[in-house]
Structure 1
Amino acid sequence: MTTSTRDATVDREPGTGTPPASPPKLRRRPGMTVIGIVAVCLGAVVAGWTWTATSSSEQVLVARTTIERGSVIEKGDLTTARISSDPALSPVSSDEFEAVVGQRATVDIAAGTALTPDSYSAASLPSDGESVVGIALTPAQSPGIALSSGDHVRVIVTPGQDGDLPGGTPLYSEAEVVAVHVDEATGGTVVDLLVKHEEAAVLAARIATGHVALVLDSRDR
C-alpha cells in the first residue's frame, strides 16, 4: 500500500497533484507548403527569362527617318534601338554611330529599319568614270511622280521651235537620279543625274537647249 502511493506521487508535479501537460502539436498545412514551392519556382523562371532577354539583345543603329539611296547619312537620320540577337542578322552596332554619319546610303532605308553593313558605303559620287549633270525642270518637262535617288530616267530631246526633231528621231540619254532639290532662287526643281563620263558633254549640251524632257523608267532594281 505504501509503495503504490509513492509511485503515484513521483508521477505528479510537486505541489500540484496533477500530471505534467504534453507539448502542443504543430498542425501541418500542406496547402501553404505547395504555394511556397510554386512561388519559388515562378521566381526562378522570371529571373531566368529576364537574364536571357537582357543577355541575348543588342543596341543597334536604326533609321529615324527614311533615308533615300544615294543620299548622305546625317546624325538626324539615325537613332538606336535594342533588338534580340539573331545569328541570321548582321545589324550595325550603335557604337558605330559616328563612323556611319557621313556615309552614303546604297539602298533605300525605311524609317525604323536597322542598318546593315551593306546599306551604306564610303564611296563618293561621282566615282571614277562617272559624272554628275544637273538639269532644271519645269512641270512640263518632268513626270508628275516625285523623283527619288536611284531612279532610272531618260533625258529625251524634244522638238525645237520649228517642231522638228534633230536627225528625225528622238534622241535621249540614260541616267540615274542622284539627288533632287528645289532651287531657292527660281523655285524650280533641279535634278542631279549620274551618267557615264563620256556621255556627260552630250547630255549637258542637250539640256542647255532647253528642249528636253525627263522620263521616269522602271523603279525595279
Structure 2
Amino acid sequence: MTVPKLPHQPRQRRRGLLLVGLLAMTGGGVLAAQTVQQLSSRSLVVVMTRDVPIGRQVTANDMATTLVGAEPGVATVPGDRLPQIVGTRAAVTLLAGTLLSPKATTDQLTPAPQQQLVPIAVKPSRLPARGFAPGDPVLVMPAPDPTTRRIVPTGIAAVVDQVKEPDTDGMVVVDLLVSDMDGPKLASLAADGRVALVLTPRRQ
C-alpha cells in the first residue's frame, strides 16, 4: 500500500511562519521587559485603611502598605516608616483608601503652651476665594459697625488650625490659634460676628 505524500509547504510560507514566530518571541520579550520596568518603578508606601479624624492618635490598625507607581509631585510616606507613624496624631482628617502624606500627621498637639484655640464663624464672603488650609497665617480684622463711626482696632495675628464645612446657616467655622494674650480679645470679636480674615504670607 502506498502512503500518499503530503505536499511540501512552499518555502515562502515556511519563512512567513518563522517570521511570525520570531515576532511573537520578540513581542513577549518586550512585554516582559515592560513588566519588569513597571514593577521596578513601583514603591511601597503607607495607605490609610480607616478614617482618622483630625487630632486623634493614629494606630497600626489604621494603616497598611501598598505598591504604587511613582507619580511626580505626589508626596508619600515610605512603607518602612509605618512604625514611626504609629502614635502620632492626625494633623488633618485622614480618609481610608488615601495615601498618607508626610505632613498629614504630627507629634505636636494644639493648642501648644501659651496658645489658645478660638473658633470663629464667618460668612463665606469674608473668606478668600481659595479658602484656607491648616497652617495658613491670617490676620483677623474686625469689620466696621455701620451704626457707629468708631475706629476699627488693629487686627490679631493667628494661624488656621482647622476649617469646617459650611453649616446649615451658611457660616464657615474656622479654628484659629492665637497667643494666650489675644485669645480673650479674639473670642470677644468672634461673639459679635463682625470679623474678616486676611490671608498673609507664610514664613519661609
Partner SS, residue 187 of structure 2: helix
Residue 189 (structure 1) shift: 4.2
Aligned to 1:148: 132
Residue 207 (structure 1) shift: 3.7
Indicate whether 1:103 and 2:90 are aligned.
Answer: yes
Q: How many residues align?
A: 184
Tell me how far apart the structure 2 counterparts of residues 140 and 48 of structure 1 sit (CA, whole Å): 54
The one of 42, 45, 54 equivalent to 1:57 is 42
Tell me how far apart the structure 1 counterparts of residues 77 and 37 of structure 2 sit (CA, whole Å): 21
Tell me how far apart the structure 1 counterparts of residues 120 and 152 of structure 2 sit (CA, whole Å): 22
Tell me how far apart the structure 1 counterparts of residues 120 and 141 of structure 2 sit (CA, whole Å): 12
Are 1:133 and 1:195, in contact at CA under 8 Å, matched by a contact in 2?
Answer: yes
Larger radius of gyration: 1
Which letter does structure 1 place at the counterpart of 2:17?
A: M
Residue 59 (structure 1) shift: 4.6
Are 1:155 and 1:174, in contact at CA under 8 Å, matched by a contact in 2?
Answer: yes
TM-aligned CA distance change 1:187 to 1:39, over 3 Å: closer
Partner SS, residue 108 of structure 2: coil
5+ residue gaps in structure 2? 1-5, 49-53
Are 2:141 and 2:198, in contact at CA under 8 Å, matched by a contact in 1?
Answer: no
Identity of aligned residues (%): 25
TM-aligned CA distance change 1:47 to 1:200, over 3 Å: same
Are 2:144 and 2:152, in contact at CA under 8 Å, matched by a contact in 1?
Answer: no
TM-aligned CA distance change 1:126 to 1:39, over 3 Å: same
Residue 214 (structure 1) shift: 2.0
RMSD: 5.1
The one of 182, 186, 192 equivalent to 1:199 is 182
Structure 1 stretches (4+) deviating beyond 6 angstroms? 78-81, 86-90, 182-187
TM-aligned CA distance change 1:141 to 1:212, over 3 Å: farther
Residue correspondence of structure 1 range 39-58 to structure 2 within 5 A: 39-58=24-43
Are 2:139 and 2:158, in contact at CA under 8 Å, matched by a contact in 1?
Answer: yes
Are 1:158 and 1:170, in contact at CA under 8 Å, matched by a contact in 2?
Answer: no
Tell me how far apart the structure 2 counterparts of residues 141 and 87 of structure 1 sit (CA, whole Å): 35
TM-score normalised by L of structure 1? 0.55
Are 1:103 and 1:120, in contact at CA under 8 Å, matched by a contact in 2?
Answer: yes
Q: Deviations over 1:26-53 (max 9, x none)?
A: 7763333333233222222222322332
